[in-house]
Amino acid sequence: MSVFTKVSLEEASQWVKRCYSIGKVVNLRGIESGIENTNFFLDTDHGTFVLTLFEKLTASELPFYLNLMAHLSSHGVPVPTPIKNLENRFLGDLNGKPAAIVSCIPGAPSTTPTSDQVRLVGEQLAHMHLAGQSFEGHLENLRGRAWWTKAADEIYTFLDERDADLLRTEIAYQAEFVDDAIPKGPIHADLFRDNVLFDDSRVGGFIDLYFACTDAWVYDVAITANDWCIRGDGVLDAGKLQSLLGGYASVRQFLPVEKKVWPIMLRAGALRFWVSRLYDLHLPRPGELTHAHDPNLLKCILQNHRANLQIFPE
């Protein structure tokens, strides 16, 4: 959530006045974390909201995300609630970019989560998956196999021979996997620590659902484990992993087929984010405030998953 497109306080004020019923804008603050969209805290005399200008996603793709957020929120899942404009739409246009306003979720991220916090994340992720079952929208994973294969072709030239070989062999390995029998539905697909806010001892909310898609639930859990349950050396922390999986299973039990593919899902999750971080590092977009992540930790995680078969813990 870097700032790529500039918006002045006056521009935001006039746009909100013309299009929304959320009060008078009194302040606009750029949000630096993240790397995909332009985000601001939008303070009005009615409260604080989040304004997002979408840098890559198109107006035709965005209804899936906004409608999913509205659906989950209506089911009690703590996610930002999109605000409809005066035309009864979630999506508008600001400074030439698709734009939306959502509610501001209370809380702050935990950079060093406790086992109790990890368990709460697992529980809430399972609630999100179950609540998403009745959502009628469908969107294939835009950062899945086709994407990482294409993106890799653009970044091989920046890699040394060893890293390029690691990337090629892992993409080939994942291409052989068929996942038709795994339960699927809407997933967050980016539930890293900076996308979960804690409000005292509870999960305040999941944020930044703009990588959400229809994919395997266990893949979503694996992506989460690769951030919440990883030690500094890129190895899974067995205690934290037990907390995450136990919290999830207390709401929704894992099926045998999900346990079977767990090692593959961990590797797929690490590959997806290693590729995206390599791409952002070597082929960055210009931005006023930008925040890129180091790809080396995800490479290390992938290497560890390849070297040590991660059997689903019972």
Locate tokens 């929120």: which residue? Answer: 73
Rounded CA gap, 163 and 16, in Å? 48
Three-state secondary structure of 19-83: HCCCCCEEEEEECCCCCCCEEEEEEECCEEEEEEECCCCCCCCHHHHHHHHHHHHHCCCCCCCEC
Neighbours of 95 (CB within 10 A): 14
The model's pTM? 0.94
Specify the DSSP class assigned to residue 84: P
pLDDT digits (tens, 9 = 90+) for 218-251: 999 999 999 999 998 999 999 999 999 999 999 9
Locate tokens 């006045």: which residue? Answer: 17
Structure tokens at 66: 């906004």
Q: Is the pLDDT of residue 288 over 50?
A: no
**Domains, the chain, ranges and CATH?**
9-103 (3.30.200.20), 115-307 (3.90.1200.10)
Closest by CA to 31, choosing from 67, 5, 69, 57, is 5
Strand partners, 103: 49
pLDDT digits (tens, 9 = 90+) for 102-129: 999 999 999 999 999 999 999 999 999 9
pLDDT digits (tens, 9 = 90+) for 126-178: 999 999 999 999 999 999 999 999 999 999 999 999 999 999 999 999 999 98
